[in-house]
Structure 1
Amino acid sequence: MVTNDILESLSARLDEAQSPLSRLDAYYDGKQPAAFLSQKSKDALDGRLRVLAVNFPRLLVNSVAERLQLTGFRGVGDDTADQNLWRVWENNDLTTQAHLAHVDALTHGRSYVIVWAGQDGKPLVTVESARQVITAHNPATGAVTAAVKRWEDGRQHFAVVYEADKITRYQGKENALNVVEVIPNPLGEVPVVPIVNRSRLLDVYGSSEMTDILDLTDGLNKIMSDALVSSEFFARPRRWVTGLEIVEDQDGNPIDPFSSEAARVWQSENPDTKFGQFDGARLDGYGDLTAVLTQQIGAISGLPPHYLGLNGDQPPSADAIRSAEASLVAKVTGKQRMFGRSWAKVADLIVKVRDGHNDRDFETLWASAETRTPGQLADAALKLNQMGVPLAAVLANPLGYSPAEIEQITTQRRAEALDKAGANLSAFLVDEAV
């Protein structure tokens, strides 16, 4: 067995993170244990309602993540996007993987991206979970100084230690990992980029976007559970009877005269027997308390009322939607600035792996976080075009086309212009036979 201080220290830190990350996963999946549910309620439910989750934590994460649409990169000071870099991006399926990286970063507080060379020598980019990857940082600058990825396949345990000068691969048993390969790192830096959902300056490993609403979600789930218990045992009308003779069995136990299937009609030969019905329990209080908790979740999370079902039967207008979504849009814009620099670093590493060097700083391009109708987008694009804004810029923002789509549109527009002009390009072609 080979010991490594970086592997041991970061593995210990990774082990410590498993429990809180598992808890966050349970809330995101809606499988957290019921909180505040009394033992009497559990007994009354007879195991039929083990978990009841109104999954607002997942709604919050997905509502932010679905508006974080990365559309391309461009060099700082350049007017056009880097098309070759975007091809590498698409070849690694990062259009999909970047969305998953955002979901994990918002859920766990962080996710990771590893950039290296594949077997064909081309850049290989993988998105990693905080359950398997951890980084060490320079306390003075915050730069990543080392990283560890650890996983298992059911039989063997694997680990990779990423450092600025080398990459070391380990394999073996859980507590007996041996070095199987040491690879020099020509990049001169750790090829692991954290995507961190920071809330404070010293929040190196980020914090979950769901944290502030977890307790409120537990309270809401408890109220919904109580409402179902009340609905099962008290909301349905119950009947009473007096003056009815109780018949006992051979052991002296009373026999319920209305327990049999045939006892759908209650009857008694005693003229003093009286029948009646209790009023059903009202559930209005549960609805009122549910609305209060839901409003608190909306106020803290920034989710608009129409996301939380608080608008009732009246659909909101377009202006009302934009006004209600202002807080959510502002939050997403902040995430774009936060995550954008990390993705720009990923772009830098891709170019270094591909070309061996990079002397440009990249800027991450995002689709607009606002909700706009096609008519509004077209009107904004027309006005920008009339002001003299280049077509590529208009297609990127506000229309939100990707660099590949912009290239295709530009090519088609150029071909259409040639067709309209009636240009004959055959005169410019040289007959190879001459």
Structure 2
Amino acid sequence: MAETTPSVEELAAVGFDRLRADRERLDRIDRYIRGEHDGPYTPKSATEEYKLLAKRAVSNWLPLLVKTPSQALAVDGFRRSAEAEGQETPEEWRAWQDQRMDARQAPVHRAALTYGQAFVTVLRDPADPTRPVIRGVSPRLIHVSYADPAADALPLWALQIEGLPEKEGAEARGWLYDGTSVHDVMVGGKDGPRVIGSAPHGFDVCPVVRFAPDVDLEGRVTGVVEPMIPIQDRVNQTVFDLLVSQTFGSFKVRTISGMAPEFKRDPATGEVVLDASGRPVPIPIRADASRFLVAPDPDTKFSQLDETPLGGFLDAIETATKHLAALSQLPPMYLGVGSVTNLSAEAMAAAEMALSRAVEEYRHALGESWELVLFLCAIVKGVEPDPEAEVLWTDAGSRSLSQTVDALGKAVQMLQVPARAMWSRIPGVTARDVEEWAQMAEADDPGLRMADAMASAVAAPAAVTDGYAGGDGA
């Protein structure tokens, strides 16, 4: 019996159910990255002062785990495999610049690292079908279905919504992308999903690209935030215990034994003042650095209770942050553990080796996704896509400029690598800089100037001869 193709409504219902099923987990990650953590343990009888300390105990390290590698992920160039010397800027890269992706790529990278995946849609501009529109989409707002989630580059279909409704039974607007069209749908209502419009998107594939820096063979993705939440909770609990000890036990307590307190007396009658329960009201003893305590009774003893040592709490916080750094491949010095005083560029590079390897792995995964995005942009622009093209990443290493230039110079001199091939590897140099340098080099090349002069010298007599022959024939 032949399988029936699911309708748009059925796919929208499946996608919406999956989004609601993932909502709790993704919302928890979103809360933690924004600093809204589960509070540390406090007794049920905790006072307002304890609750205030619990709020102050939140030390949000998680954004640093995302921002540090994402700041080393910046696409700044695109190279086609058959790109000739001096060829104009590829149309795909023009679309990238037109969509301001130099700045808008960062949120995509941060979402991919935070949740484990992010998505980018490529559609045609309704006002200009030859202009691609690139948009990043949070995984909290889109569900994507693959035949093989571990190996497929593009999905079978995807459902994107404006936002999950807060009330049960409320509707939300969405868009379902399949291999031919974009369907405008309403989901979440009591009557089930309904299609309110459809339009072809101009591709023969679903134009949704996944950015998954860490995906396994079963298609499961893992971000850098969720595995670190237990350690983050441990840090918050230790900081809370530190604040409680610092507030209530970090100072010496003076004690007096064997001395009867003096009681308040009525100035008019001289009688002892009683409280509501009939007990005499003692006069408080004021003890501070400016006062000297004296007792008339020789059996009176003055003593003090020592403060609670805070070193153990500080050591526990440092240990937890070391665990956080080790599991996230972040240099411990980024979390305030250790010292970076007088570190050379070589020592800094060695300390960042684990981070550099993680960033390199992310570049391989995310670079393939950006190349697929630009592949779809080429289709929209009407040019032949290049499956062998590649994106170029900014060099964010900690090597010094002199060290890098020295290494590149040795590659040119000792290995006979063309000098022009090394220009793009200089830190801070963009693709536009390389293009301008190439134009300057061609303009300043004496060989090219001599060739232009010879061409001009040969062309001038030819023009005179042709004119003379014409006059003689007349």
**Native 8 Å contact 2:53 2:244 kept in 1:** no
Shift, 1:43, TM fit: 5.8
In structure 1, the gaps of 5 or more residues are none
Shift of 1:106: 0.5
Most deviating of 14-23 and 172-181: 172-181
- The Cα shift of 1:150 comes to 0.2
- Could you tell me which residue of structure 2 aligns to residue 114 of structure 1? 121
Residue aligning to 1:72: 77
- Aligned with residue 397 of structure 1, among 412, 420, 425: 425
- In structure 2, distance between residues paired with 1:415 and 1:182: 54
Where 1:216 maps in the other structure, the secondary structure is helix
Output aligned runs, 1:104-143, within 5 Å: 104-118=111-125, 119-121=127-129, 122-139=131-148, 142=152, 143=154
Displacement, 1:318? 2.5
Cα pair distance change 1:102/1:32, threshold 3 Å: same
- Offset of residue 312 of structure 1: 3.8
- Partner of 1:227 in structure 2? 242
SS in structure 2 of the partner of residue 47 of structure 1: helix
2:155 counterpart residue number: 144
Report what 2:195 is aligned to: 179
Pair 1:102 & 2:102 matched? no
1:338, distance to aligned residue in structure 2 (A): 1.3
Displacement after TM superposition at 1:50 (Å): 1.8
Q: Aligned pair in 2 of structure 1 residues 203, 53: CA closer, same or farther (>3 Å)?
A: farther
Larger radius of gyration: 2
Q: CA deviation at 1:173?
A: 7.6
Letter of the aligned partner of 1:221 in structure 2? N
Aligned-partner residue type, residue 157 of structure 2: A
> Which piece of structure 1 moves more, 227-236 or 314-323?
314-323
- When residues 348 and 175 of structure 1 are mapped into structure 2, their CA distance, relative to the original with a 3 A threshold, is farther
| In 2: Cα distance, 1:269 partner to 1:52 partner | 43
Looking at structure 1, the residues matched to 187 and 295 of structure 2 have their Cα atoms a distance apart, in angstroms, of: 83
Q: Matched residues in 1 for 2:187 and 2:14: separation?
A: 18
Helix, strand or coil for the counterpart of 1:4? helix
Give the C-alpha shift of residue 32 in structure 1: 0.9
CA distance in 2 between partners of 1:173 and 1:212 (Å): 31
Match of 1:202, SS?
coil
Deviation at 1:114, TM superposition (A): 0.4
Superposition pairs of residues 402-421 of structure 1, within 5 angstroms = 402-415=430-443
Distance verdict in 2 for CA 1:51–1:195, change over 3 Å: farther
TM-aligned CA deviation for residue 315 of structure 1: 4.0
Q: Distance in 2 between matches of 1:338 and 1:256?
A: 75
**Residue 210 of structure 2: aligned partner:** 194
CA distance in 1, matches of 2:186, 2:211: 27
Q: CA deviation at 1:44?
A: 5.3
> Aligned ranges for residues 147-296 of structure 1 at < 5 Å?
147-152=158-163, 157-171=172-186, 174-175=189-190, 178-204=194-220, 206-242=221-257, 243-245=259-261, 247=263, 249-252=274-277, 255=281, 257-258=283-284, 265=291, 270-272=296-298, 273-296=300-323
Tell me, in whole angstroms, the C-alpha distance in 2 between the residues paired with 1:256 and 1:359: 91
CA RMSD after TM alignment: 3.6
- Matching residue within 362, 368, 373 for 2:400: 373
Deviations 1:301-357 (A, max 9, x none): 111122122224744332221111111111111111111111111011010111165
| Cα deviation 1:70-118 (Å, max 9, x = unaligned) | 1222234657795432221121111122111111001011110000111
Report the alpha carbon displacement of residue 172 of structure 1 after superposing the two structures with TM. Answer: 8.1
Where 1:144 maps in the other structure, the secondary structure is coil
One-letter code aligned to 1:236: F
What residue is the counterpart of 2:326 in the other structure?
299
Q: Give the drift of 1:376.
A: 1.7
Q: TM-score, normalised by structure 1?
A: 0.86
Which SS does the other structure have where 1:149 is aligned?
strand
For 1:156 and 1:9, how far apart are their aligned partners in 2? 15
CA deviations over 1:20-43 (Å, ceiling 9, x no partner): 111111221222122444546666
> Which residues of 2 match residues 349-368 of structure 1 at below 5 A?
349-355=376-382, 358=385, 360-368=387-395
Identity, in percent, stands at: 22
The answer on whether the counterparts of 1:144 and 1:190 sit within 8 Å (CA) in structure 2 is yes
- Alpha-carbon contact 2:118-2:137 (below 8 Å) kept: yes
Q: Which amino acid aligns with 1:69?
A: A
Unpaired stretches in structure 2, ≥5 consecutive residues:
1-6, 264-272, 461-474
Name which of 42, 49, 57 aligns with 2:54: 49
Q: Give the TM-score, by structure 2 length.
A: 0.79
Aligned length: 429
SS at match of 1:370: coil
Aligned to 2:468: none
Q: Report the alpha carbon displacement of residue 53 of structure 1 after superposing the two structures with TM.
A: 2.8
Equivalent residue for 1:334?
361
With over 3 angstroms needed to count, the CA separation of the structure-2 counterparts of 1:278 and 1:145, relative to structure 1, is same
Q: Report the alpha carbon displacement of residue 264 of structure 1 after superposing the two structures with TM.
A: 7.1
